[in-house]
């Protein structure tokens, strides 16, 4: 049984086969649903995103509290694996990669130089948790239209972004696979879409914000794998960073690959690997 309350959760689970007595989920919310409605099911949690966490035990993030019902955690890389192992030593934790990487499309040539821009949703107002960077970058993003074709994207839960892009005359592309088909470079704040796009072999630009303090060392996007693309701190530096990203300098490609190795233990075969691990664990 697969339980996915949102389409982007379902995308993470679609290619994985599950035995009848197992419930496969990709979020804490769906875990609580299974726990309440199907208490006899054995639960597997497939980590969605890159496994980012924020130094606490919020149940929605790796190492979070109230995940005791999970018997098997499937994660994209070693960072979330370590947090789950520490929090739940009796559970099994396996690095399998992420199924979405198996079928992300390549760029379809169209004669344009297209920049995609995407932002996360405002997940929390808790101290030390980053907020959406859009207000800080808004004017600089809109100015990109003077030089590039620009398309807008957003986290599925950033409900206001389609209206924002439309209001500013920028095409909103909600399907991330379509973004991959159309964009040469992606600028992002802290959404995992930035790492997915980078894993297709294309450059990204990493949008920092004044509230992203370097004293918050949470790993991955904050900060061990932040060099997945050129990091920019100031709006006037955005267009030059886009130009640099499009140059695909060897040192930038090397930094991207190092960052991706931190995030993804495997970059292909995740669905088959997850299926094998689930069947072995459930036997």
The answer to whether position 27 is within a domain reads: yes
Rounded to the nearest 5°, which phi and psi values hold at 71? Answer: -95, -20
The answer to whether position 250 is within a domain reads: yes
Q: Which residue has the tokens 């409605």?
A: 37
Task: Evaluate if residue 117 carries a pLDDT over 80.
Answer: yes
Domain total in the chain: 2
CA distance 190 to 228: 11
The reply to whether 217 and 275 lie within a common domain is: no
Give the CA count within 13 Å in the CB-facing half-sphere of 120: 22
Query: Which three-class secondary structure state does DSSP give residue 59?
Result: coil
The reply to whether 123 and 243 lie within a common domain is: yes
Please tell me the pTM assigned to this model: 0.96
The reply to whether 67 and 154 lie within a common domain is: no
The reply to whether 144 and 213 lie within a common domain is: yes
Q: What per-residue confidence (pLDDT) applies to 123?
A: 65
Task: Evaluate if residue 132 carries a pLDDT over 90.
Answer: no
Answer with the residue of higher pLDDT: 130 or 78.
78
pLDDT one-digit tens code per residue, 24-68: 999 999 999 999 999 999 999 999 999 999 988 999 999 999 999
128 pLDDT band, cuts 50/70/90, is low
The reply to whether 177 and 93 lie within a common domain is: no
Judge contact between 201 and 188, C-beta under 8 A: no
CA distance 204 to 227: 10
Q: What share of the chain is helix, strand, coil (3-state, %, to 5)?
A: 40, 15, 45
| % of residues, the chain, pLDDT over 70 | 97
The three-point CA angle 118-123-128 to 5° equals: 105
The reply to whether 89 and 213 lie within a common domain is: no
The answer to whether position 109 is within a domain reads: no
The reply to whether 186 and 256 lie within a common domain is: yes
The reply to whether 49 and 189 lie within a common domain is: no
Torsion over CA: 266, 271, 277, 281 (sign)? positive
The answer to whether position 105 is within a domain reads: no
Task: Evaluate if residue 133 carries a pLDDT over 60.
Answer: yes
Q: What per-residue confidence (pLDDT) applies to 55?
A: 87
Task: Evaluate if residue 221 carries a pLDDT over 60.
Answer: yes
The answer to whether position 215 is within a domain reads: yes
The answer to whether position 203 is within a domain reads: yes
The reply to whether 140 and 158 lie within a common domain is: yes
**Of 261, 227, 217, 273, whose CA–CA distance to 77 is shortest?**
261
The reply to whether 89 and 128 lie within a common domain is: no
pLDDT one-digit tens code per residue, 166-207: 999 999 999 999 999 999 999 999 999 999 999 999 999 999
Task: Evaluate if residue 5 carries a pLDDT over 70.
Answer: yes
Domain that holds residue 211: 114-263
The reply to whether 88 and 192 lie within a common domain is: no
The answer to whether position 218 is within a domain reads: yes
Judge contact between 135 and 198, C-beta under 8 A: no
The reply to whether 184 and 202 lie within a common domain is: yes
Judge contact between 269 and 102, C-beta under 8 A: yes
Q: What per-residue confidence (pLDDT) applies to 124?
A: 58
A 10 A CB-CB count for 2 gives 19
Can you list the pairs that 88-96 forms with residues at least 24 positions away whose Cβ atoms lie under 8 Å?
A: 92/281, 94/274, 94/277, 95/265, 95/266, 96/265, 96/266, 96/270, 96/273, 96/274, 96/277
Token reading at 53: 């966490």
> CATH code at 202?
3.40.50.12580
**End-to-end Cα separation, the chain, in angstroms:** 16
The answer to whether position 108 is within a domain reads: no
* Mean pLDDT, rounded, for 109-115: 97
């Amino acid at each position: 049984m697969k339980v996915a309350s949102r389409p982007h959760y379902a995308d993470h689970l679609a290619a994985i086969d599950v035995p009848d007595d197992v419930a496969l989920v990709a979020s804490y919310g769906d875990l609580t649903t299974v726990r309440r409605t199907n208490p006899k099911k054995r639960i597997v949690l497939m980590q969605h995103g890159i496994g980012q966490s924020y130094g606490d035990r919020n149940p929605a993030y790796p190492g979070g509290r109230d995940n005791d019902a999970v018997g098997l955690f499937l994660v994209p890389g070693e960072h979330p694996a370590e947090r789950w192992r520490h929090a739940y030593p009796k559970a099994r934790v396996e690095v399998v990669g992420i199924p979405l990487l198996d079928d992300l499309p390549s760029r379809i040539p169209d004669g344009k130089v297209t920049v995609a821009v995407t932002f996360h949703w405002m997940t929390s107002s808790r101290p030390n948790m980053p907020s959406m960077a859009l207000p800080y970058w808004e004017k600089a993003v809109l100015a990109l239209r003077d030089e590039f074709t620009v398309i807008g994207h957003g986290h599925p839960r950033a409900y206001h972004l389609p209206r924002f892009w439309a209001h500013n005359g920028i095409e909103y592309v909600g399907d991330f696979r379509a973004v991959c088909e159309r964009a040469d470079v992606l600028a992002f704040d802290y959404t995992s879409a930035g790492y997915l796009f980078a894993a297709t072999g294309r450059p990204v630009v990493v949008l920092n914000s004044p509230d992203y303090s370097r004293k918050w060392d949470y790993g991955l996007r904050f900060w061990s794998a932040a060099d997945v693309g050129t990091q920019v701190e100031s709006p006037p530096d955005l267009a030059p960073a886009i130009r640099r990203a499009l140059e695909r300098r060897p040192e930038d490609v090397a930094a991207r690959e190092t960052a991706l190795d931190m995030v993804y233990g495997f970059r292909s075969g995740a669905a088959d690997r997850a299926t094998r691990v689930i069947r072995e664990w459930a036997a």
